[in-house]
Amino acid sequence: MKFVKYQATGNDFVVVNGDVEKLNLSDYETIKKLCDRRFGIGGDGFIVIRSHSETDFEMLYYNSDGRPGSLCGNGSRCAVAFAYEAGFFEGKECSFMAYDGIHRARFHSEIGKVELEMADISNIEIGTQMVILDTGSPHYVTLVEDLSDLDIVEAGKAIRFSPRFAEDGINVNFVEQSGENQVIVATYERGVEDETYSCGTGVTASALGEYVLSGQTEQGQHEVNIQTKGGNLAVRFLVSDGNFEDIWLIGPATKVFEGEIE
């Protein structure tokens, strides 16, 4: 099987062309092993790109535990870069089918940057110092004073495995405000069951969550710059009648190496 390893702000994936390779996608043990950093190629997830009748391609996403995941934002940006290289589309713009429906994206191949359109969000659960929302994957977002004071894995696990979320799981984001329209985000990911260097659906949820939790009400266009362990991302969104629309996740996606395994 031929594969390409990609990373997007340190969130890394094994990507395979499903039109070319023969794959047993219900063999979760093999997918888990491919993602294993000692016994396999290593990655936070496994991605299959294949043809689709309505869009330029389809992306299937598996977490590193080998099981099908929901939308992966960083994985989607890697998928766009891979699909361009593999000839699934030409030019800058593409559309693709993912877990939560059709997405549009723009690939700036000269600088390796991908802009990914996310689904509109109108439903946010607001609790004490935290929000829960679905940006294609379910996310819990909470503000913290100082990220360096926090054990992300311990604190993330405590929420992810709490009685409410234990069965289906949830991704947990800790957000520190670092300036005007600037935040630092650390994410504990379900399905990886660890902190990852960055999570695309997580930083999107964090940008919207920070808007809500900091009591902002200003309508119109917003842009938040986000620092993660693996690098910087931006999230642009429009606030209209309390809904979040025209949401874009923007950042780099880079090929690391390619190879072939038995």
For the annotated catalytic residues, the residue numbers are: 72, 199
- Contact flag: residue 171 with ligand LBFN2T5F (CB under 6 A): yes
- Contact flag: residue 103 with ligand LBFN2T5F (CB under 6 A): no
Query: Any idea which residue has 């119109």 for tokens?
Result: 220
CA Rg value for the chain: 18
Residues 6 or more apart from 69 whose CB is under 8 A from it?
A: 45, 61, 62, 63, 99, 137, 191
- Contact flag: residue 17 with ligand LBFN2T5F (CB under 6 A): no
Of 31-39, 78-86, 102-110, 192-200, the window that binds ligand LBFN2T5F (rule: CB under 6 A) is 192-200
Question: Minimal distance in Å, beta carbon 24 to ligand LBFN2T5F?
Answer: 20
- Contact flag: residue 137 with ligand LBFN2T5F (CB under 6 A): yes
- Residue 63 · residue 69 · CB < 8 Å: yes
Name the amino acid, one letter, at 88.
Answer: F
How many CA atoms, within 13 angstroms, populate the side-chain half-sphere of residue 210? Answer: 28
Comparison of 159 and 192: residue with beta carbon closer to ligand LBFN2T5F: 192
Rounded CA separation 47/6 (Å): 10
Binding residues for substrate: 11, 63, 73-74, 171, 189-190, 200-201
Binding site for ligand LBFN2T5F (CB under 6 A): 11, 44, 63, 69-70, 72-75, 137, 171, 189-192, 196, 199-202
